[in-house]
Structure 1
């Protein structure tokens, strides 16, 4: 195994959390594949530079806090990145139910304040809010329940 490549790969992983797929792609760019690539990935895991569980936790928590993504979008993205169901479940555990619901309420309220300047039809406003939250990856049932509980719609 090439120590220089291992060192480069370790730096690549130390900079930010990575998935095994991302590291494999990077190794291919460096003309490393097959058994050698697998060896390097195994070494990175044993040295704790690479952890899919840690990646899932960081990714899920970050996307929820920074981009206000819902659980469905986060799960879909983690699946797309080739993570195991176990790692995805661990990542999703980073988002508590209360914080999640509060985040959705705040997201909908901000959007409602923005949209209600131009949209006067309550039915259309609710539709736009729902479409927005669904696009962010929130669950349909939860979105509609939260919109139904919002003030100003219940007068």
Structure 2
């Protein structure tokens, strides 16, 4: 099966309605998809307007579901979530709104659980190297450095 080139505005609109209905998308993803379909700028603007007006596309909804999903499923910290949302050109306001989806109690509980679980998996006998591995792992996942260093000191005291 070959990929179709040259869509009418109506065909592209229907295709993008399905694309957005399947999963929340950010504007950047949808514009990239339309460009990949060979749509011209005026058609992209028309289709984007339609998708926003008819609530197929909503950046606030996208940001909230993205933040919830990455926190609950991938156990990402707020720094990583913010970085990824910024990379998708989400506004500061929508990023702040999205972070409110994560309760403080869930946040700290998840962090504790993740740190302890990872510390149990680290086979390093040198406490300095083990501490570094834990710190690197948690920072990469976007947890705040102060929390990470305090937890590492607690789990690997000298």
**Alignment TM-score, normalising by the size of structure 2:** 0.88
1:120-152 Cα deviation digits (max 9, x unpaired): 2223222221111011111110111233444xx
Structure 1 stretches of 4+ with a deviation exceeding 6 A read none
**Alignment TM-score, normalising by the size of structure 1:** 0.90
Partner of 1:133: 138
1:83-128 Cα deviation digits (max 9, x unpaired): 111111111111111111111111111111111xx22222322222
The CA distance in 2 between the partners of 1:139 and 1:123, in whole Å, is 20
Q: How many residue pairs end up in the alignment?
A: 151
State the 1:154 CA deviation: 5.8
Structure 1: segments with no counterpart, 5+ residues: none
2:69 matches 1:62: yes
State the 1:27 CA deviation: 0.9
1:11-50 matched pairs, under 5 angstroms: 11-50=18-57
Question: How well do the aligned residues superpose, as a CA RMSD in angstroms?
Answer: 1.7
1:1-155 matched pairs, under 5 angstroms: 2-115=9-122, 118-150=123-155, 153=156
